[in-house]
Homo-oligomer: A and B are copies of this chain.
Amino acid sequence: MVEINGSRLDARLDQFAAIGATPKGGVNRQALTEGDRQARRLLTKLALARGFDVFQDQVANLFIRRRGRYDDLPPLMMGSHLDSQPTGGRFDGALGTLSAFEVLESLEDAGVETERPIVLVSWTNEEGCRFAPGCMGSMAFSNGTIPNEWYDKRATDGASFASELKSTIESLPEARVKALAFPISAYVEVHIEQGPSLEAEGIPVGVVTGIQGTRWLQIAVKGQTAHAGTTGLAYRRDPLWALTSALSQLYQNIMPPDPDARFTVGRISASPGSVNAIPDEVTCTVDIRHPKLERLDEIEKEVISAINCAADRQHCAVDISRTFDMPPCTFDQNLQEVIIAAAGQLDLEWKAMLSGAFHDALFVNRVAPASMIFVPCHKGLSHNEAEYVEPLNALAGCQLLAKAATMMATGEL
């Protein structure tokens, strides 16, 4: 019987939260930054100390492997990510990665020999805030290839993806680089809900049935810069006037009538950015989410037409591109049933639920049975420095992962 060490898990969470810690108690550990590298080095050090095998691939996904009796069987995979938002929380990604590591350590402590090997993965750039798109690591793993255009990407801070990726891989000389993608038997990821429902309903774990679709747009509206004081209405081509009127209409029309829809503008800016000059160009991002593909299409059409109409009224030009497009997904039914059975054996109350956020499991689900275990986070806060998970809930999620993993790795799936 595998015994999860809750205080060790809590200590690990504290240990990793110190890397990129922000004054408000969150973390800023964006993908492929020095903070990300420090976290990878720490996890590697802990893994080597337990005698586990450590390796990475060409997109810097980090793997920690514990042998099985039949060591050439496709491994069971568990994990999440260690990168964060600029003002992110200490649990988003880290909880799943460190829960998986706690499972490996507990199996080692208990001397349990599993049939098949178990591999922990920490995926590269799940958040996608420094380099879009998100989930680069799991996307490349499931496609078996890295799109060439990724290497030309520049971070919002100006850094080049190609060189940051190279430096990140080279910062882990003890982890040899293996070819991208390998067969796995299944993938389970523990993650915070990032929404309010589990806490509100007092349920310790969620078994995730699928993930709503996400679409990102990059929008630019181009007008003409001119003097704020001397340029009369008839002479103005103000792109910010156009953008704000379109956005305020979209905020009103998308979410209030459709409780499943999400519409978010996270980034906006105007150039040249002078207090007394009409902007010549304004840009913003749009994040659209919905469980139904057809509604994603409808909402995207609505956004594009609203921006174009408003821009026409201001005699402005528009440039809109899709920077990320992830259709809704449904997780493997059998895998969900294993997790539910494990919850039953642990007498854990659970509920089936859809994920509002996308996760690496969505991409892994394309090449192997995948599902997720959600734990409650306080007030549903996430992508927020105040993100918090009760230790008891973190423990429950980790115990469920251990139970389900042991069942699968010992061939019960």
Contact = CB atoms under 8 A, between A and B. Distances in A.
Nearest to A251: B241
A72 to B, nearest CB: 39
A411 B102 CA distance: 92
A233 B256 CA distance: 7
B129 A229 contact: no
A352 interface: no
B383 A274 contact: yes
Nearest to A134: B276
A102 to B, nearest CB: 24
A132 interface: yes
A86 B272 contact: yes
Size class of the contact patch on chain A? 35 or more
A138 B87 CA distance: 42
A304 interface: no
Interface in A259-304: 259, 262, 264-280, 282, 285, 287, 289
A397 to B, nearest CB: 17
Interface string A107-121: 000000000000000
A124 to B, nearest CB: 17
A42 interface: no
B356 A262 contact: no
A214 interface: yes
Contacts of A244: 243-244, 247-248, 251, 265
Point out which of A194, A243, A276, A324 has the most chain B C-beta atoms below 10 A from its C-beta: A276
A381 interface: yes
A274 B216 contact: no
Given A127-B276, A240-B268, 7 more contacts: A87-B271, A195-B227, A229-B357, A230-B355, A248-B249, A266-B276, A266-B279
20 contacts: A87-B225, A128-B276, A196-B232, A214-B229, A216-B275, A216-B276, A228-B264, A230-B357, A231-B380, A232-B356, A233-B256, A233-B259, A235-B379, A240-B268, A264-B276, A266-B275, A266-B278, A269-B269, A275-B287, A276-B287
